[in-house]
Structure 1
């Protein structure tokens, strides 16, 4: 009887976390496991160990697929199925995970050869990040600041603070939702910066222009009236019912702005359009690429590093060139 994948996957994940300089976040760990389960499910179905339709009585795919089942032929057959079922970007990730697993299994002596050597992931079509132009950003701001009928679940100050932070910092949706009052602080030069924990648990410091801080402070004043003083280490942005803002709630907010403004929706997560807009605005202003990479927390460690020195003069000055500042300045009381 061979070794089932369920007996080696946890050790593989432990090794990945140990050998990777950045470690593994819980999200990354779950993604690796999910990818492996998908491969195991397809292989198990092709081998007749699982039915085509899942039932509560089915065994776990990782229990019925053995390490010895990871042959080039089995993987190629499963790959054909996955390519038809999954998006190109998802298939790329699935193949990448399987390559890492098989390489590790070979190093550990579970496999004689790596069966993925001749498996090539599909090329992702090149799509340049779009972002919104200045006119579209203005229309989005109009949608945020417009007078609307009062609603128990709508909180204008929250929307204004959210727009201000998204448009002037380029943070990801998950990063925005994780910002705390404590992570906003003044640096040694007196400028406000926000500490962000990005992908791979990497920290970076991003300057926040005063126009954005105006609306964050307005929101904080209202938040105190509504909910009293909250712990500084708790999430900064909260819905009208006091629940911390989630990615789903943020997506709902931004989708509403997009619908009311009539601007084109960006591909992917709604809030990510602000990140593209922020980056392209900096580049149009002549900001060097390494400074933009540092501000966005991209994975190229040659320019970012583990702790990004984003408050250095060139990076700080780059952030202050964001075109969103003018949009907010026009709305500052």
Structure 2
């Protein structure tokens, strides 16, 4: 019996970690999710659990066609192709596949799309909404929602980075900042506007009341039941904020639009692109360069005037908490 596809995928991820590649927990999780998606689409072609012998260009192309017919976004299909390409290269090198089925397959082209950012009015509405109790939450936690909005929009963090913050990563004082561990386990320091830090300070007593521990290594962001927030929980709460504030949800990951707004506001007030790169934790300055194009386009209006940090700092948090 030929080797199962999903078992080979597990070996590939383990091998990447074993040889010291920069693959973090979230990246491994994303790979596993991509491989699970491939297993489902391949199984639809083979009518049984896919094996490595099923990895032919014909079967892969049929699976891609089904993804397209199912309405899977080009960005998602492109990511899935990249993941399978990496797995197949590994299997060929290990002599577990006789030939690379991905050699003749091109990934869907990336759309020529600039980052979506929010207007000052939308950011203001978002924060005002965060300060009010969510009627569907059980229990509501407005101080937590404010802290999430501040960290994402005034710090430019990814949702996964916000979820990974420890209590000691928030540095108070005259020059407040967040120590952020980003992709590849690379750490960076993101300065915070003092007004933003003051509002995060309002969240800390609520956190102390609900968290199981106040040790430095405990998570900074916790749920009302004391458990650490996950990236998915943060995305859910941000999506709820968009819906309650009447703000259309942008394409892609919900929290990432707040990161775009942060980046564009930095570019718009003249922060050098190399410094924006450091603040965002981008490996390549070419990735950051897209914000220069966005700032010069019609999206300039969406990120103009005060930076997101100063706008957020001007809105005091609601001191009331449950």
Taking structure 2 as the reference length, what is the TM-score of the superposition? 0.78
Question: Is 1:11 matched with 2:4?
Answer: no
Q: Is the Cα contact below 8 Å between 1:144 and 1:160 reproduced in 2?
A: yes
Q: What stretches of structure 1 of length at least 5 have no aligned partner?
A: 51-60, 305-320
Secondary structure, counterpart of 1:269 in structure 2: coil
Matches within 5 A, 1:232-243: 232-243=216-227
**Equivalent residue for 2:190, pick from 200, 206, 210:** 206
Cα pair 1:294 1:303 within 8 Å, conserved: no
CA pair 20-283 structure 1, distance change in 2 beyond 3 A? farther
Q: Give the drift of 1:158.
A: 2.7
Of 86, 92, 97, the residue aligned with 2:83 is: 97
1:170 aligns with 156
Deviation at 1:46, TM superposition (A): 2.9
Aligned twin of 2:74: 88
Deviations 1:116-152 (A, max 9, x none): 1110111132322221112222222333346999x97
Alignment CA distance shift 1:29-1:180 (3 Å)? closer
Task: Report the equivalent of 1:114.
Answer: 100
Distance 1:157 1:122 in 2: 42
SS of the equivalent of 1:194 reads strand
Contact 1:158 1:237 in 2 (8 A): yes
User: Do the aligned partners of residues 103 and 210 (structure 1) sit closer, same or farther apart at CA in structure 2, a change above 3 Å counting?
Assistant: same
State the match for 2:127 in structure 1.
Answer: 141
How many residues are treated as equivalent by the alignment?
299
Stretches of structure 2 that go unaligned for 5 or more consecutive residues are 289-305
Contact conserved, 2:163 with 2:228, CA < 8 A, in 1?
Answer: yes
1:274 and 1:262 map into 2 onto residues whose CA distance is: 15
Taking the aligned partners of 2:63 and 2:238, their CA distance within structure 1 comes to: 38
- The 1:230/1:100 distance shift into structure 2, 3 A limit, reads same
Q: For residues 148 and 215 of structure 1, what CA distance do their matches in structure 2 show?
A: 19
Select which of 265, 268, 275 maps to 2:259: 275
1:292 aligns to what? 276
Change (3 A) 1:159 1:17: same
Q: Does the C-alpha gap of structure 1 residues 183 and 71 become closer, same or farther in structure 2, counting only changes over 3 Å?
A: same
Compared with structure 1, are the counterparts of its residues 226 and 202 closer, same or farther at alpha carbon in structure 2 (3 Å cutoff)?
A: closer
C-alpha distance in 2 between matches for 1:239 and 1:44: 38
Instruction: Decide whether the 8 Å contact of 2:170 with 2:177 is kept in 1.
Output: yes
- Residue 153 of structure 1 is matched in structure 2 by 139
Q: Structure 2 vs 1, CA of residues 70 and 328 (structure 1 numbering), >3 Å: closer, same or farther?
A: same
| Superposition pairs of residues 6-85 of structure 1, within 5 angstroms | 8-19=8-19, 21-22=21-22, 24-48=23-47, 50=48, 61-62=49-50, 65=51, 67-85=52-70
Cα distance in 2 between the residues matched to 1:152 and 1:31: 29
- Contact 1:179–1:236 (8 Å) recurs in 2: yes
Contact 2:154 2:312 (C-alpha < 8 Å) held by counterparts: no
Moved over 6 A (4+): 301-304
- RMSD, aligned α-carbons: 3.2
Decide which structure has the larger Cα Rg and report it: 1
Structure 1 position 262, deviation (Å): 3.0
Distance 1:40 1:270 in 2: 26
1:130 partnered with 2:116: yes
Aligned-residue offset at 1:195: 1.3
Deviation at residue 223 of structure 1 after TM alignment: 3.5
User: Shift of the alpha carbon at 1:3?
Assistant: 4.1
Tell me the residue number matched to 2:169.
Answer: 183
